[in-house]
Structure 1
């Protein structure tokens, strides 16, 4: 509870703080008379207490009112023509589900969308946005921290605003006394400061200076929106422990201790993020992971126009190149030419911004980032208003403007376009930023670099990335080397030089990398790269193998196993029912197959492993696959296998998982 209130009157130790003394007549005073006297004294004291305690209630009312005014409207249009619209009139409820495994995934957004498209609605556990801190019937542990992830532009920030608005209007979550929305884009501006949590809150919410937030009397919710925009280094392994809200510390120490529960352990925490950045928060700091989904119609016009012309894109590079062309054509209908002088120049500058910020891991940009790429801030505001499906200007809740691409994949496509043009026009490898290279550029010297060297360097950089943030960039870069995609861009980018390219060298290099026992995720992305290069030789080889009767009797190389995983993941037939007996034989034991096909197993709904001679080693691989996606599998056949006690115990741990939805077990 909160400590005793401080009175505006003089100290209780002073006589002046008491009512005027009551003078008694000499002689006996009846008990009932003394009771009335004491009662009158207590009443006078309580009147003072009541008027002093009403101050926090007044502050809370003002605080709610301010948040309601801040979040009741959304503004649309350019910075010069921002039209406020009532949020309650246009809000559409997102489909929010609890993550199947409860774990945080760092898989790329595009691959998560591909995976989600294979799932059925019955596998999800829907949760209303206003109920994200309420435990489900089967959950006993209270929910303190929630991480909500969803692709860019899906509506995470708007959902946060609606949550706050419903609370401020007294509709939902009235057990919470204070909600502090602290977007990362605002926190970024304070990343080099040292201050206490109370000081930070007083800067953002001056009206709370009258409240004793640390007392425990108030139930507090912190909302950190846009983890993917965070430029503060979050070191959860740091030994620095912060427990006092009035103690000064760096912003990163303050945030990590708040999320770990050292600072204000009773406070609720809500973090939103794009999937690509979700793993910045350790799983042990998150009690619930939720995901946002909504039907996507962004590419509907592009696909319908392409279909009418008989040119349906066959690769990701073709699709995004069409998208860029169509969006830049749409802007001409908005009187664009009078406001932005050089269309091609602006696209190249945005492409440069895309690449430079992508390699730094930044998805949100500020005015200084634009200036470094030669982009006029006023011009960028106009472009964002006219080309809102490519580049977007946004306003922070408390500070100034920020900029972003509407989706990470658009930034990756433009970054690849910058890398490609830098080579074709200037023979420059964008990954080589050495001082010697800068000197040569100033002298306009041609640099000794080939397109194949650029591509090989890009492959190496992507493989070294821990979170796969260059995977899609690599696919786009390789795809842009094809003459068909260069022809698509020739009307839009008239100064881009076309180059003839023999792809055999990079195809051979990628196949070599696939054979090096990479992780399944890395191998799969390299197969996508081969697809962008229009090379399917390895896939055809594996597809022939799968259809043959020699499956199980053939010894596969590492690259062939990777190709097999890719083929199976692309097949609904095998994901609906995966019979591993087909791949087990003299050359491939059950244990080896379980290890090699682990990525396919975790996406399968029915798994047949009868009479496979599985050992404890195989049970370890099987358990690992099932644990990573426990709610997906519905039928498991392990009949006629001599599984040991340790293997049984491992499988039992999966069955005991509250997310497990297995229907039949043999």
Structure 2
């Protein structure tokens, strides 16, 4: 069986005879051509289906006559013309039959021979003559937007295949079924060269894939927007434009945050060597809940817990903060993270920001804006809107009139609420809901915390406990607490700091041998102090050097660091005399409570000391305020020192500075003090002797570590650090040898066997090593 057909085609006035096309040979559908002109054909073309007549696949043994196409035209315009749709008996709005393709002559590939067609094979170029003249009136091509990529324009790094696919798909998904159908028809009419058949049967993924397969990313976006505008869907085209703009801003914001937070410098001054954040960062101990109370672990003292009726704390990681499941399940919008000074709150914030900027975590957050309170302090006194604040800190966002979007959440990270210079009043501050209207800074901050400004946004605040406890409960959906390092994290820290593992092993052995030192290393800032001291020892004395065993020098570095941070946080500057006066008053509070073996500072003690509670708790960072639950429905605010050893250090500092300033020995009883003044000035050695006796007579050992600190105060290295607080800045003799002799005598007498360990620590503090082995063995035997 064969198909036969006659078709006469004019060619410069000549008539061609019938031509049979053998099965298996491809047809261009263009008719005969003159010599000298190249044409394309498809060899070994697979047989097609005649679905109209109910025919099955054509058998290769049969020949069919194929009716020639009428006079050709030079483009795809006939495909786009109304005649093309009318030839199938449909209008432009009707879905086209997928099996009917009208072949026409064109200088480009025919749509049925598209490179993407499954029916197409390899093309072979043949010679062709000049293009024939088309019969009838010329077809007027439909206007279509110029699609071209500027070769001189550099592609924005944010424009990726993944984003372009998602953006176009998300835009087209907003179309209704009828509009989507119109979009496909219009796309087919305007750009048929992209398709082997009308795209009506394509689903959304196939359609967008096809666009990105055929066009550059910029062109695909340009094409989509042009068609939407032609369909009078300008708002949807603007939506796609807005997606692209926000994507660029987000990329540039991430780059800004990477530059700003990508490195860190440990310590207090922030003027040292900056290192890549990941080379320094260690995981921290973060709990969901907790009372933000102090760590009360101690080498000798037994301190009762300062809270009751508390839930068991759940440890979390920085990745779990604002986890999407928690947000959805618990409806969390705002989180407050507490922690004492130097515990690592800002480091946790920096880790969170970098994880987002590097696209490692928190992908449900579309925009993340850190708004540190120390930077907000610089804008005090001016009327400004929330949007303008963000534009000021992150200029790349100025192209966006608003930050709210459907693609993800907007998040503000406000680090250091305790550094904010303005007091917050949630009862009398006016309500403010417009993020574009200027207002006073305290109005904006208050309403941002309340949730009135950008209510769909997420808010994370870090603070010391005293300040965060003033926030209204309805504005805080979750409370976290940063508690520093666990024992395992302490070891990780020092192994990361000391590249020489032999040195790292030596440092860790030193830490574990001194329980007080090991406990205090729960504070990352204290770890930094210890690390610096040990590294300096290795540099000066070599890798085999013996590491210092004293505690006082490390605590003095920590104290000076806290005082430096106080000035850096905007507190009024104090003279050295004013600073000494503050330390003496606070140290007197510490000594008074220490004699009672108490950590909680009662109101009467505060009143007698004349110390400003806010200065001690919020600004100096040496004390802490937190809530304890006495009953189920009753909470009480209390203050204490951030750690028992800080209390003991300040008490020793009080005794030392008082003697240096006034010559008074506060450790002596009043009667003994009068007699000593009659016969002899107290002197530092007398103070040491008094302290040793008082420590040994203390039944609970609450003066043991105090004694170590007091003895260490006399050493030259420590006096040099405290020199600005000393009268006339003179460094006095330490009497360390005489004091060491008194201690060795006490160990040998062994009247206080349970105190021998601490007395040995006192010798280490003075730098005199261990007592003779026979004395130590006698002490152990008596124990």
Q: Please tell me the TM-score bracket, short chain as reference.
A: 0.3 to 0.5
TM-score by length of 2: 0.39
Larger Rg: 2
User: What is the TM-score with the length of structure 1 in the denominator?
Assistant: 0.45
